[in-house]
Structure 1
Amino acid sequence: MEFLTLFKALILGMVEGLTEFAPVSSTGHMVIVDDMWLLSEEFLGKYVANTFKVVIQLGSILAVVIVFRNRFIDLLGLNRLFKKEVKMEHGQSRLKLTTVIVGLIPAGVLGVLFEDYIDEYLFSTETVLVGLVTGAVLMIIADKFAPKKPQIETVDQIGYKQALAVGLFQCLALWPGFSRSGSTISGGVLLGMNHRTAADFTFIMAVPIMAGASFISLLKNWEYFTLDALPFFIVGFISAFIFALVSIKFFLKLINRIKLVPFAIYRIVLAIIIFVLYF
């Protein structure tokens, strides 16, 4: 496989890793970088290119698992096996696996019911533009109307009602360009969480729902895992993993200070760029 092709895999993995969990829409960035510049479908073919995008998403998911490894060990009840404990800051409460599952139900159900419709009718540049701008508006509203003193300062304080409400906000992310983290962090903030807590819960919920969707897509497209395409997949996966790892850690350190408005402004600028370049 040519060096230039592998370099394109590196770039696409980088874009995926840097944007998948930030509230800026990885789909919007892929429209610019891939659909308008790299054009992976032209040199890989449509189905191999789509499979590649699933592979690099798995790289991003692995990065979240690494960052929140102690939390996932605790959720799965594997503390004794790995000799890890999550430090408790507020009493003896602890985030439960069932709480996470409740948060996953709304988007999971709608995703299964409308997957074919979304893939066929909603993945276009026009719909991505709508998602970018609408999501930005939601983020600005969240920052403006967020409680001055958040009542929920750690994910261990999140109950079933809050989890379900955040899960309903996550349904907005089924619209391409809206951004999963943008919608769920906004929802969490409006529900009385601080920005870091909303981000933590967003990332924890993202792993099972993204992993499930990715593995289903991989099973459907397993025939496109050829030896010729394998180096491209490997480079993209590693690139997405490394850049997602850096991006997540950086984002979590900053989110309580910068909040959502700067990301909202960036999204609006991105929408304008896509509009000018595409139309």
Structure 2
Amino acid sequence: MDLLMILKAIILGLVEGVTEFAPVSSTGHMIIVDDMWLKSGEVLTKHVANTFKVVIQLGSILAVVITFWDRFIGFLGLGPQGKHAVPGQGRLKLMPVIVGLIPAGVLGVLFNSYIDDHLFSTITVLIGLVLGAVLMILADLFGPKTPKTETVDQITYKQAITVGLVQCLSLWPGFSRSGSTISGGVLVGMSHRAAADFTFIMAVPIMAGASFLSLMKNWHYLTVADLPFFIAGFISAFLFALISIRFFLKLINKVKLIPFAVYRILLAIVIYFIYF
């Protein structure tokens, strides 16, 4: 594998890391960037390319785990210093996350093959970018002006299952996991920051699950020669995600969702004229 392919992996990792935590669709951006690169003559097999797009999300997952380390330790019933917290406290904090994961988790398992085979394309991403932008605009316009839920610890089971149902929209590439779930959270009374925190925490198991399924399905297509490509993308995604997640969490309560929605629509228009 030559240096140009390693550079491609680093660029795709950068795109994944920077966009994973903004409501603009990291998968959609990777599909668009990769399709543009393929036109230059550097071609990966479909199975390797699609697996790479999912697997480098593991770098972003690691960035989330590091950022929310105290929270994940809390799920185990431990305090931030490793001391035992109030009995059952970790379990109670974890339950809304589990409830929120169920809808998209079930649909993701049932339709994983169909999504991989039919929805990873530029045209489906354009559709997802625009429809996701509409949802985000509606969330900012019609969500409660005074949020009932300011922190992730205050999220109710009703809010969690509603966000989980809205998250199912993100199975369509381009819709954006964070865009759909933050929008759903805002519509049911969460602050933008609480919805973002909840979104990123839920992302760890669902992204890890998607990566595992893709690896299991396409493992036999991968070779030792592909390892440098995957490793470079993983490291790139991790480093850029670690930076972008902290920036986004400071930004989201100030700018809300509409600026990101406008960007998505403009991006869709530009890509449409480039391709069609």
TM-score normalised by the chain length of structure 2: 0.92
Residue 145 of structure 2 aligns to which amino acid in structure 1? K
Map of 1:1-279 to 2, 5 A cutoff?
A: 1-38=1-38, 42-79=42-79, 82-83=82-83, 96-279=93-276
Amino acid at match of 1:197: A
CA distance in 2, matches of 1:41, 1:156: 50
TM-score by length of 1: 0.91
Judge conservation of contact 1:131–1:178 (CA < 8 Å) in 2: yes
Aligned residue for 2:173, secondary structure, equals coil
Paired residues of 1:60 and 1:241 also in contact (CA < 8 A)? yes
- The range that moved more, 19-28 or 37-46, is 37-46
| Offset from partner CA, 1:212-237 (integer Å, 9 cap, x none) | 11112112222344321111111110
Gapped runs of 5+ residues in structure 2? none
CA distance in 1, matches of 2:92, 2:139: 24
Shifted more, 218-227 versus 255-264: the winner is 218-227
Contact 1:17 1:241 in 2 (8 A): yes
Q: Give the conservation status (yes or no) of the 8 Å contact 1:8–1:38.
A: no
* Counterpart Cα distance in 2 of 1:139 and 1:61: 24
Q: Quote the Cα distance in structure 2 between the aligned partners of 1:261 and 1:190.
A: 14
Question: Residue 89 of structure 1 aligns with which residue?
Answer: none
SS in 2 for 1:96: helix
Per-residue displacement from partner, 1:65-94 (whole Å, max 9, x unpaired)? 1111110110122448834879xxxxx999
Asked whether the 8 Å contact 1:34–1:40 carries over to 2, the reply is no
Contact kept in structure 2, 1:150 and 1:192, CA below 8 Å: yes
- Of 76-85 and 64-73, the range deviating more from structure 2: 76-85
3-state SS of paired residue (1:152): coil
Q: Displacement of 1:34 after TM fit?
A: 0.8
Between the aligned partners of 1:243 and 1:197, the Cα distance in structure 2 is 22
| Counterpart amino acid of residue 53 in structure 2 | K
- 2:91 & 2:46 partners in 1: Cα distance? 45
Secondary structure of the structure 1 residue equivalent to 2:194:
helix
CA drift at 1:163: 0.4
CA RMSD of superposed structures (Å): 2.3
* Paired AA for residue 251 in structure 1: F
- Uncovered stretches (5+) of structure 1, i.e. residues with no partner: 87-91
Task: Sort the Cα spacing of 1:203 and 1:52 in 2 relative to 1 into closer, same or farther, 3 A.
Answer: same
Number of aligned pairs? Answer: 274
Q: Partners in 2 of 1:107 and 1:51 — Cα distance?
A: 19
Separation in 2, partners of 1:134, 1:224 = 34
Q: What is the alpha-carbon distance in structure 1 between the residues aligned to residue 130 and residue 84 of structure 2?
A: 42
CA distance in 1, matches of 2:61, 2:40: 22
Query: Does the 8 Å CA contact 1:70/1:84 hold for their aligned counterparts?
Result: no
Please identify, of 258-267 and 27-36, the stretch whose mean Cα deviation from structure 2 is larger.
Answer: 27-36
